[in-house]
Structure 1
């Protein structure tokens, strides 16, 4: 039955009669309890509502959704509501929305999910800036539902074959509408699951520009309290696998055999071909299981190349092997190990290779090759770094680390600069580690040299034979959980024993956020005194008092802080008093009784042994990041009036 719009008036065009920027299409079927959240997130967008066309298509709801939508259409001039009979999936309502859309772009929002309030602004802005046909926003899971892919890096243009975007083929992204119409893209109708695969696959493979906006989460995938999401429904899996075969024929028609097609097929083996072989498979009797295996076997035979098999994790690799070889008993045992029990402990060979503990490993009565169990290349260091902090002049680091499924037995911290590596012992117990980096001893017992040092954690796991047997070691860069910031990231003075103090500053590399230490006595890219500000006040006798405040972590008690007046080649050192306050804050003052006439820059000199830094003082009222120095004009005469006039100019 064709859609109708008898429940609401047509949404108006954009400002000044122009077409809206984006049409948001929302298929609705018995999701009344979620509509306030879902549609509400569209009405709360920071993008002007006059630039948003909302098309909600009620697909035969019987729970009050239709009445709620009708009421909202009376309140929101940009909302159009269409009604149609229940169609058995989101495909037909989405297509009905597409047929009515007038926006430059279309976005598909499921009626149980929600948008971030700034999502449409950033997504459309990204598309306009880059000429994108498709724009992915960062996705997050909520209420027990996981995101299909973790998009962390904003990219103007990505390749389908060398980025994670193909792992999310669902509809919830932004499409250029003219691109959709040019390629006549529509959703499969009447399907509850995977109806969006052909649409998403064709769009990604034919798009000229695919962009990613990941600076903030744009789309929230919500699980339902009653587990009624489409992916959790009872499915005729044999029919489903037959349908997936037609979908993969489309992929094969777009991409010739070879490495690129194999990269796409890895995703389809994960997401569609082998996905049913879990609890749904075990819930069937022997005949039902054999029927599912028979439906999947042609797909495995046609698309499981050596490259695809090697890219699968052992659990899926074993499923694929059992399907291809007709090993029904072994397939059931593997699925049960993942679904009802747990795989056994991994096996670590003398050559360092690791094998998953699934059933029948090296069973002489079974013909399952070792390669199906091999997970050596998949054992990666999973670690978390808590916020690093300084105690005195020592940097303390701690966190958690493990090598799933092996665990871990010993850890050490690595300081890397170019080809140079220094090792710092770390204590490791029950998955937690801690280490202390003292710049005076971090270089194998000696002072750490100047330079930029990156931090890595190395974790070693042993087999059942303990430290005397085979071992596996992995390394990973340290990334703080709470990001860059806080007082421990501020530049500080760190002692290095006989090498003398140096300026030390923690920072995170871009774009990956790896923890680094910038250390140097003579040159450092992160100078001290970023918060150094000063003022001047006149006394009744006509004298001037210079006062400056700054934070100076790690400053030795015998360090000298002195205010200077600098003018070209001339420098006047002032008698200065320095008071240390709580939190490494310092107040320095100088009383100016006169001096050589001229306009002077005010500078603070910090001297700690061989370390000397001259830090420019900024005016107290200067905004953050301002580069103008604090200046003082000393008049030729020492009269009070002229000095006061100079101070008025100085205070600005």
Structure 2
């Protein structure tokens, strides 16, 4: 091993695209690594688009970059194995060609792995998926089940190279090889540590096609071979097996199953029924969420119609999160939330109850499930609401502290299960005690227990404050805001005063009287100097532009927003009939406001950019005639 080489980074590459922004970002992030401490191994899978030449040119100028030339297979497994075979670092980190390494991340991982003597170090990732349950805190000695490591089974981890060679860990040439590799590593390691405090890698979608039905079953069978070879009969084996039964096999029989052609449904069902009979005994079902117990029972009995009926009934079932209050408590934003499972029509799910005992009520078309498997008393006791924030650009996620309770609400026919609580959003400490990065952070809610689900927090009918607050550490503006779809986010450190106003501008109001249109737009925070002068610029669809000066009135930080007020002339020379898009001009730049104004016949209304404008004038008349004479 080359003296002092800390980490080898293995990257399988196949036709990454010489003009790919994501591949460029990947390469740039790797070139920032100190060349005397880290090496980068690109395993090129027979690229034909110029990627190979680019990598060779890179290796010719960088002493720590190596390129392995492989024949085309289309599978990253071979490239990963080739890189593992030639790696020289004390540790190996695995990533893909369109992922991006966070600056300084490998150094932190290396130090933590040395400190904890870890064979496998699980670092925090960011991407489009939900935040993995394994990343709630750092762990020096992580447990596979207690710390929910099976929620983090991608290859993006730091592995001790000696550990990999001792156990001859390699990626198999089959479906689910990544999950199988990581599972073998988890079960073989003496020490697994978790580094949750910092994002290590920004993970892009793999772009790999879904495996075929038979390939999927073969990969799942190989995973069960690992489980049975490396665990003893008992609860641990059953829980691991139940996890893969749920996440790989039963997941395929949910609502997406309905979109498959009949012959594909029959084929997939047959493959999954066969492997269920061979590898997943009924004793596992107690470790499944209750709705999946029904799916497993129907699978075992060969009831294809029951599977279709259950999937049909499950379509549209979702988590509904309601915002009860949004308020500033000092420099902390407090959110009062409730969350409850609802059916496709929006009605709350009702569970059967007898005293303290609770049962899931299956759809009327699927009522053959053993009552013992329908009981969810223990699961109902564990129902809890979790709140996390996700950066809209980087995908970085962090949980917020939540205090709450589960309430059983008696209704006709049973009880409803509603979780409620208060989440505290402190931008100075939300990133594991560190300040959050600037940008827009989406607010997400998920509920664990009976039927795990997640959702965004939507804007309620009643208004909430648009007031921002200057956080104390570090001192910067924080603004609660809503997307054009009505989803709650919080912007940390808007790029400009004008942008802070644009973030909350959907709450604008307009009125028309005395030959003018009066417009008021919330201002989340007004600096002590009052801010720069402002103008509203409204452009009508078709080309006409109207400009008017705007007055900014301060509010009270954290309590109520200020407002930007403008008076615009109407009629000839001003706002004529039509739809107008407003912009805010400050400091010589124009910022789009997030609403439209429609004016006609002496009135003006605010239109959401998400809401289509109703037909006016002759278009309305034509639509009316069509309805009247059956032409629609």
TM-score band w.r.t. shorter chain: 0.5 to 0.7
Counterpart-to-counterpart distance in 2, 1:72 and 1:358? 60
TM-score by length of 2: 0.56
- Offset from partner CA, 1:141-190 (integer Å, 9 cap, x none): 2xx3445544121111112232211332221101111111111111112x
For residues 359 and 348 of structure 1, the distance between their equivalents in structure 2, rounded to whole angstroms, comes to 12
Q: How many angstroms apart in 1 are the aligned matches of 2:176 and 2:307?
A: 25
Q: 1:258 & 1:320 partners in 2: Cα distance?
A: 20
Q: Which protein has greater RCO, CA pairs closer than 8 Å, 6+ apart?
A: 2
Counterpart of 1:271 in 2: which secondary structure? helix
Contact 1:91-1:195 within 8 A present in 2 as well: yes
Residue in structure 2 matched with residue 23 of structure 1 by the alignment:
8
Change in 2 beyond 3 A, CA 1:242/1:336: farther
Per the alignment, residue 161 of structure 1 pairs with 145
Alignment match, 1:184: 168
- How many residues end up aligned between the 2 structures? 391
For residue 48 of structure 2, what is the aligned residue in structure 1? 62
The 3-state SS of whatever aligns with 1:323 is helix
The Cα of 1:237 is off from its aligned counterpart by 1.1
Shift of 1:81: 1.1
Preserved CA contact (<8 Å) 2:254 2:311:
yes
Note the alpha carbon deviations across 1:543-566, whole angstroms, 9 max, x for none. Answer: xxxxxxxxxxxxxxxxxxxxxxxx
The Cα shift of 1:322 comes to 1.0
What's the offset of the Cα at 1:80?
0.6
Residue 36 (structure 1) aligned to one of 24, 29, 32 = 24
Which string of whole-angstrom CA distances, capped at 9 and with x for unpartnered residues, describes residues 382-404 of structure 1?
Answer: 26699xxxxxxxxxxxxxx9xxx
> CA offset at residue 306 of structure 1?
5.8
The offset of 1:287, in angstroms, is 3.5
Which of 382, 385, 395 matches 1:382?
385
Counterpart-to-counterpart distance in 1, 2:388 and 2:269: 44
Q: CA 1:40–1:360 in structure 2 vs 1: closer, same or farther (change >3 Å)?
A: farther
Shift of 1:372: 5.0
Distance 1:314 1:114 in 2: 38
Residue 205 of structure 1 aligns to a residue in which SS? Answer: helix
Q: Decide which of 207, 213, 218 is 1:229's aligned counterpart.
A: 207
Partner of 1:481: 425
Q: Distance in 1 between matches of 2:317 and 2:93?
A: 41
Unaligned runs of 5+ in 2: 319-342, 390-399, 431-527, 529-632
Secondary structure at the aligned position of 1:58 is classed as strand
Given the alignment of the two structures, is residue 360 of structure 1 paired with residue 364 of structure 2, yes or no?
Answer: yes
Query: Which among 179, 189, 192 is matched to residue 207 of structure 1?
Result: 189
Write the mapping of 1:338-357 to structure 2, written as runs, cut at 5 A.
338=314, 343=343, 345-351=348-354
- TM-score, normalised relative to structure 1: 0.54
| In the alignment, structure 1 residue 273 sits paired with structure 2 residue 249 | yes
| Residue number in structure 2 paired with 1:424 | none
**Residues 101-120 of structure 1 aligned to structure 2 (within 5 Å):** 101-120=87-106
TM-aligned CA distance change 1:264 to 1:120, over 3 Å: same
- 8 A Cα contact 2:10 2:40, kept in partner: yes
Aligned 1:14-413 pairs, distance under 5 A: 18-32=3-17, 33=20, 34-45=22-33, 48-141=34-127, 144-189=128-173, 191=174, 193-223=175-205, 229-230=207-208, 233-278=209-254, 281-305=257-281, 308-338=284-314, 343=343, 345-351=348-354, 358-360=362-364, 366-375=367-376, 377-378=379-380, 380-382=383-385
- Aligned twin of 1:499: none
Q: CA deviation at 1:261?
A: 0.3
Q: CA distance change for structure 1 residues 222 and 336 in 2, over 3 Å: closer, same or farther?
A: farther
- Could you tell me whether the CA contact under 8 Å between 1:57 and 1:97 is conserved in 2? yes
Q: Deviations over 1:107-158 (max 9, x none)?
A: 11111212211221111111111211110001222xx344554412111111
What CA distance in whole angstroms lies between the structure 1 residues aligned with 2:403 and 2:131? 28
Describe the superposition over 1:426-450 as per-residue Cα deviations: whole angstroms up to 9, x where unpaired: xxxxxxxxxxxxxxxxxxxxxxxxx
Give 1:234 shift.
4.1
Of stretches 312-321 and 23-32 in structure 1, the one that deviates more from structure 2 is 312-321
Q: Which stretch of the first structure deviates more once superposed, 175-184 or 76-85?
A: 76-85
**1:472 Cα offset (Å):** 4.8
Whole-angstrom CA distance in 2 between matches of 1:470 and 1:275: 27
Q: Give the conservation status (yes or no) of the 8 Å contact 2:134–2:147.
A: no
C-alpha displacement of 1:105: 0.7
Conservation of the 8 A alpha-carbon contact between 1:26 and 1:56: yes
Residues 258-278 of structure 1 show CA distances to partners (whole Å, capped at 9, x for unaligned) of 101012112212322223324
